[in-house]
Amino acid sequence: MKHNVELRNHSIELHKFRIRLALSAGFVLTLFLILYARFYYLQVTQQEHYHTLAEANRISISPLVPNRGLIYDRNGRILAQNYSAYTLEIVPSKFPDLESTLDELATIIEITPTDRQRFKKLMKESKRFKSLPIRSRLTDVEIASFAANRYRFPGIEIKARVLRQYPEKEIVSHMIGYISRINDKDLEQLELNGELNNYRGSHHIGKIGIEQSYEKQLHGVTGFEEVETDAMGRSVRVLSRTPPTPGNNLILSLDLELQEVAEKAFGDYRGALVALDPNNGEVLAFISKPGYDNNLFIGGIDQESWNLLNNSIDRPLNNRALRGVYPPGSTFKPFMALAALELGKRTPEYNMSDPGYFALPGVERRYRDWKVGGHGRVNLHKSLVVSCDTYYYSLANDLGIDNIHNFISQFGLGRKTGIDMEGEVSGLLPSSAWKMRQYNQKWYAGDTISVAIGQGYNLTTPLQLAFATMIIANNGKAYLPRLVKQIQNSQTGDVEDIPAKLLYSLNLKPKHLEIVKSALVDVTRPGGTAARVGANAAYTFAGKTGTSQVISIKQGERYNEKSINERHRDHAMFIAYAPAEDPKIALAVLVENSGTGGSTAAPIARQVFDYFLLGKLPEATVAQFTGPVEEHIHEHL
């Protein structure tokens, strides 16, 4: 009986157990279904999302920096080139005690104090996690000795870089400009222009000169490499590659040899020269002296060199040709003469007696001619040849300032020429409206008198003067001045010409032009203010001298070159073109603090013309010339 009960108990127990086991099986199946649902969710519903995440994990895009385009002169001489070099680079954020790291590094590789200064300046201008060069152009020996000690300097790396070089340095520095490291401001600008992507991986950008204004052409298109990276960020293999498109090469209209001749002709003087081809506006020479070694800026300039350049009294960083503003002095007179003829205020035959001064009716004050006692009877031709001031005083008074302004601004004075370089300034060609705007003052008749001889409020750049001279030389055609003549595709070698751009044509009477132009030829002949310079020229040479005053001299005082501080001496100006009957070159020369135009500025023009038209190299570097000295009265303004 008892046995039976136990047996029954046992089967009940077994039954109960099997129910529980079945429930367990249900539990197992349910949880497996939950797992399966989760897999389905991840792998089917959300597959795309996770696929994207996995791709983002593994693929990193690394930019391939294009080689920057080269810059040549019109004859194929190189002005900006690239070279490969090894640089030693540091990420500053990885080194809390950078100074001692550099000390240690200096035991292996030479690091000069200049390198350190330059690096410090770079650090200030860059983000902390950026890799910055402490040394460039490592020698093979230096590379080897660093490689052997590399384990001591984690975070310092040798990198192969393509670097820029300017072989002509000072001679073309103001024209070529330079590239330098991209700073925060550049980045902002790039972002604004939507070009940031094209600069991923780029370290440099054109900062000034042609390097800046043709940045788009020169930079090229950045390529990309899709690299598979592991969790540590190391690249494993390249998945795809879009090669970079190198920047285009630029062929300038500049003639480097002409530039060298012109640069030498300045000797130790400071100044500027712009020579244009009157037939198309091409810039043949573009000088601002002193220049500077633009190579210094590429890797970031050190503080000491920067101070030296920036604080120099000679202001070598100032692009005088483009941005220097000077009163045009007597080089203003040919344009005044044209105005007189065109506006009918003077006939060629009209002549006046020059007593050596001019006075406005009813005013006691005398405006004196540069020549004591005057030039006697003076007509328009003579007024240009001898640079008679009195003639223009009286003419200006008859024309009135607004006629002068409206007529002469057609020659581009007081306006930007639109040359293919950034930073041009407009200078000033005054008008009564301008004076009202600027000073809220009425224009006085006396103001016009100083303007007549290119002084007073007049301010022009050497480039503007060259532009204006070109318009006279080619009988009224205003061609856009251009530095770049052709653009070469660096991959195919195809050269694309940039066509000359005629901005506008002045409708000047040929007769009037002829009168003025013949006077300008006579300026360089015996009796003219630049007679010595034109002597024995194998071509007809037209020009006009000028003197641009630096300081004003009180009424009644005389200007004495010898007694005045060298820096306060007048600037010499000269505008010229040749050959006069069919001009091939037109230029403006400015020589700072050198006195009168005929003595220092004109000989430079002669050397440039001799070389350009005859292929003749000058015998002496600096012309020693003493011709008739043009003087003028410095008006108290």
Query: Which stretches of the chain bind other proteins, using CB under 8 A?
Result: 3, 6, 9-10, 13, 16-18, 20-21, 24-25, 28-29, 31-32, 34-36, 38-40, 42-44, 46-47, 49-51, 53-55, 57-58, 228-232, 236
d(CA 146, CA 157) in angstroms, rounded, equals 9
Residue 11 designated active-site? no
Q: How far is the CB of 155 from other proteins (least distance, A)?
A: 21
544 strand-pairing partners: 575
Q: How far is the CB of 28 from other proteins (least distance, A)?
A: 5
Rg (CA), the chain: 37
Distance of CA 95 to CAs 129, 262, 346, 360, 563, Å? 10, 50, 77, 75, 59
Residue closer to other proteins by CB (options 129, 151) is 129
Q: How far is the CB of 38 from other proteins (least distance, A)?
A: 5
Q: Which residue reads 């041009």 in tokens?
A: 424
Dihedral sign, CA of 83, 87, 93, 94? positive
d(CA 352, CA 355) in angstroms, rounded, equals 9
User: Which of 202, 330, 394, 450 is an active site residue?
Assistant: 330
Q: Which residue reads 């000033």 in tokens?
A: 428
Whether residue 322 contacts residue 290, with contact meaning beta carbons closer than 8 Å, is answered with no
Q: Name the residue type at position 232.
A: M
**For 575-615, where are the alpha helices, taking DSSP H only?**
602-614
Residue closer to other proteins by CB (options 8, 152) is 8
Task: Give the strand pairing for 477-479 and 502-505.
Answer: antiparallel
Give which of 384, 456, 442 is closest to 414, Cα–Cα. 456
Distance of CA 283 to CAs 33, 264, 278, 322, Å? 82, 18, 9, 12
Q: Name the residue type at position 427.
A: G
Residue closer to other proteins by CB (options 49, 159) is 49
Residue closer to other proteins by CB (options 36, 83) is 36
Q: How far is the CB of 226 from other proteins (least distance, A)?
A: 13
Whether residue 521 contacts residue 540, with contact meaning beta carbons closer than 8 Å, is answered with yes
d(CA 239, CA 229) in angstroms, rounded, equals 10
Residue closer to other proteins by CB (options 192, 232) is 232
Residue closer to other proteins by CB (options 28, 538) is 28
Q: How far is the CB of 49 from other proteins (least distance, A)?
A: 7
Helix axes 401-408, 333-342, angle to 10 degrees: 100
d(CA 342, CA 178) in angstroms, rounded, equals 44
Tokens of 399: 């024309």
Q: How far is the CB of 230 from other proteins (least distance, A)?
A: 4
Residue closer to other proteins by CB (options 13, 514) is 13
Q: How far is the CB of 228 from other proteins (least distance, A)?
A: 7
Q: From start to end of 506-629, where are the E strands?
A: 542-548, 571-578, 585-591
Catalytic site residues?
Answer: 330
